[in-house]
Amino acid sequence: MCRLTIVTTAGRPDDASLQLADFARNELEAEIVPRQKRSVKNLADNYDANVIVAGKNRYEYYAKGADAPFFFHPNSSAFRLKRVARGEQEPLLTACDLQQGDSFLDCTLGIGSDCLLAAFVVGVQGKVTGLEADRNVAFIVKNGMQTYDTTELPLTACMRNIEVIHADALEFLRQQPSNSYDVVYMDPMFEQVIEESSNFEALRHAGSHIALSAAWVDEAIRVAKKRVVLKAHYQSEWFELYGFKRDIRLTSKFHYGIIQK
């Protein structure tokens, strides 16, 4: 059973905050609850609900019980994009072997950093689709990618060219024709927490924790035209269990696995 989600505003809402709240209400078919000087925790407890706060220029998502909000910000993506633009190696892109014009399906969108890198490489002739199982996370990221104000190029162009879809990855894959995406990518929530990734703790609490399965991998192989790529903790059994060739990175706590078509 899905937990109720309510929408509220910042403590002192202005017209922009009220408009954002109304947009979220329509998109998520959620009830707007007046803030009335109440804390987010108080609202979450009183309504036994997740809370989306419409601030003055962004949304913050407090999953029930979360201490910190999840919100969209492309900081890590901007850093990684600058490195790629300088010609430096990016492990994700090496594993995916993306080319200009390719199509890329990210089955586990999260905050969208990997999709941004993919969008940069495939360009306007390519196609990047990100799936997110949690409806609220999908809403936050989709809205952020379409509205985040940045003068940094190519970051803005990359964000605008990504299609975000709220969907269960396995069900979505089952509906796609065979060989319909060049690369299918999967980055499920790690079975083991990587302590250095503390900035993703809010997402870890808010997002859907879906374990990789044989059915998921089989469908990914069917839909992929070139390769399937898995990102997982270096101690994960998924690589060997599902037949991925591991790209071992001795200095990293996560590895990429590849199934070449």
Query: What's the CA gap between 209 and 136, in Å, rounded?
Result: 14
229 with 186: CB under 8 angstroms?
Answer: yes
Contacts of 41 (CB under 8 A, 6+ apart): none
CA 59 distance to own-chain centroid: 15
DSSP 52-93: EEE-SS-EEEE-TT-SS-B----HHHHHHHHHHHTT---HHH
Q: What is the pLDDT of residue 207?
A: 54
pTM of the model: 0.91
- ∠ CA 145-150-151, rounded to 5°: 135
Burial label, 251 (beta-carbon count in 10 A; 0-12, 13-18, 19+)? exposed
Contacts of 136 (CB under 8 A, 6+ apart): 5, 28, 50, 52, 61, 63, 206
Cα dist from 186 to 61, 94, 155, whole Å? 24, 15, 22
Q: What is the pLDDT of residue 194?
A: 44
Q: Would you give per-residue pLDDT tens digits along the chain (261 residues)?
A: 568 999 999 988 899 999 999 999 999 999 999 999 999 999 999 999 999 999 988 999 999 888 889 999 887 788 888 888 888 889 999 999 999 999 999 999 988 999 999 999 999 999 999 999 999 999 999 999 999 877 766 788 889 999 999 999 999 999 999 999 999 999 986 544 444 444 456 666 555 567 899 999 999 999 999 999 999 989 999 999 999 999 888 788 889 999 999
Sorted by where each starts, the structural domains of the chain and their CATH numbers stand as: 4-62 (no CATH), 75-260 (3.40.50.150)
